[in-house]
């Protein structure tokens, strides 16, 4: 983890830790929404790409992602002069497609319901010799995301008592869990997409049900977690919570109103859990706001809804 932090130093921003007061408890917001590319993903992507051999660099990389990982890989690849192909769902938010394309990556779309992004990426990799950069199932990705946890400890000047982290595949949550071994780790997922929570409860990996309800938390709609991320969170006795889209909308409004921050749905689930009183209040709680790449029309709708 410390090696990862040293490796990516200068490539990623040290994002602010902003004090808040949520329902009377003293809370610190780790603002990865202010990270370059608008999400924490640049950390893991940079850490992975910096470990490619010269030959691997030449052959390029391929990644699949609904958006934030795509953009993180695209930015890291551009900076290092590496060709990047990104496999994205055809229904990804336009803001994420545009962000990825603006970084010079080549985009290949697929249909979320009928095609397998893993197969498409594997085919591209086998045809071009490109290296697949997974979004979470990779120790270098997990270590890179975990550098956000090291920063939290440095910025706070001590270990926090609790860290509340959005969870899709679990790369960020497991990375931070490794980086801050003494804090209570709380992961938060959208209702119905709480497969990490159910996996931790069952003691084995269970995927999201095929009939899972819709959610606007696109960044963390991950159908199945990985043995790496699941294993770390299990060993750390992570606590798991799930929140509704309405609770997430309330958190997005709160971040806008109280802190002038733009936070996307999947990145607001931790704050949503606190605001919905799903946790006993505890001072020195860290809430990770993991990204800000929200569709403008959706953000406009949420912030102007007085509910």
| Residues near a copy of itself, by CB under 8 A | 13, 16, 18-19, 33-34, 38, 95, 256-257, 259-263, 292-293, 296-297, 299-301, 303-304
Pick between residue 19 and residue 280 the one whose CB is nearest to a copy of itself.
19
| Least spacing, CB of residue 151 vs a copy of itself, in Å | 13
Q: Which is nearer to a copy of itself, 207 or 296 (CB)?
A: 296
Sign of the alpha-carbon torsion through 48, 52, 58, 64: negative
Nearer to a copy of itself, 261 or 271 (CB): 261
Q: Select 16 or 139, whichever has its Cβ closest to a copy of itself.
A: 16
Q: Are 93 and 218 in contact (CB under 8 A)?
A: yes
Closest approach of Cβ 7 to a copy of itself, in Å?
Answer: 20
Which residue lies nearer to a copy of itself by CB, 189 or 264?
Answer: 264
Token pair listed for 5: 């932090």
**Minimum distance, C-beta of residue 288 to a copy of itself, in the bound complex (Å):** 14
Q: Which long-range contacts (CB under 8 A, 24 or more apart) does 13-18 make?
A: 14/151, 14/155, 15/148, 15/151, 17/151, 17/152, 17/155, 17/156, 17/286, 18/259, 18/261
State whether residue 185 is helix, strand or coil.
Answer: strand
Q: Work out how close the CB of 166 gets to a copy of itself at its nearest, in angstroms, rounded to a whole number.
A: 15
Give the pair of three-digit tokens for residue 26: 């003293």
DSSP state of 265: G
CB of 158 to a copy of itself, least distance (A): 17
Whole-angstrom Cα distance, residue 283 to residue 286?
A: 9
CB of 252 to a copy of itself, least distance (A): 11
Q: Which two tokens stand for residue 190?
A: 């959208």
| Sheet strand arrangement including 61-64 | 106-110, 84-89, 61-64, 131-132
Q: Which is nearer to a copy of itself, 92 or 177 (CB)?
A: 92
């Amino acid at each position: 983890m410390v090696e990862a932090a040293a490796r990516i130093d200068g490539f990623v921003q040290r994002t602010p830790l902003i004090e808040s007061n949520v329902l009377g408890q003293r809370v610190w917001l780790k603002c990865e929404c202010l990270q370059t590319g608008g999400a924490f993903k640049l950390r893991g992507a940079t850490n992975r790409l910096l470990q490619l051999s010269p030959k691997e660099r030449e052959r390029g990389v391929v990644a699949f992602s609904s958006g934030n990982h795509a953009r993180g890989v695209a930015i890291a690849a551009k900076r290092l002069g590496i060709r990047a192909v990104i496999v994205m769902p055809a229904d990804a938010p336009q803001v994420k497609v545009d962000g990825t394309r603006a970084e010079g990556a080549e985009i290949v779309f697929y249909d979320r319901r009928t095609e397998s992004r893993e197969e498409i990426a594997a085919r591209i990799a086998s045809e071009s010799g490109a290296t697949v950069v997974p979004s979470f199932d990779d120790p270098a990705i997990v270590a890179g995301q975990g550098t956000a946890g090291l920063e939290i400890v440095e910025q706070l000047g001590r270990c926090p008592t609790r860290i509340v982290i959005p969870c899709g595949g679990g790369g960020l949550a497991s990375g931070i869990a490794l980086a801050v071994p003494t804090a209570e780790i709380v992961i938060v997922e959208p209702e119905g997409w709480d497969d990490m929570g159910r996996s931790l409860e069952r003691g084995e990996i269970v995927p999201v049900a095929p009939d899972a309800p819709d959610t606007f938390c696109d960044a963390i709609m991950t159908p199945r977690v990985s043995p790496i991320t699941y294993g770390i969170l299990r060993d750390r006795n992570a606590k798991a919570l799930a929140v509704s889209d309405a609770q997430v909308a309330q958190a997005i409004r709160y971040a806008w109103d109280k802190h002038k921050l733009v936070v996307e749905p999947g990145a607001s689930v931790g704050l949503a859990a606190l605001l919905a009183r799903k946790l006993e209040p505890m001072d020195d709680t860290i809430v990770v706001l993991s990204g800000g790449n929200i569709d403008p029309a959706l953000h406009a709708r949420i912030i102007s809804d007085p509910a």
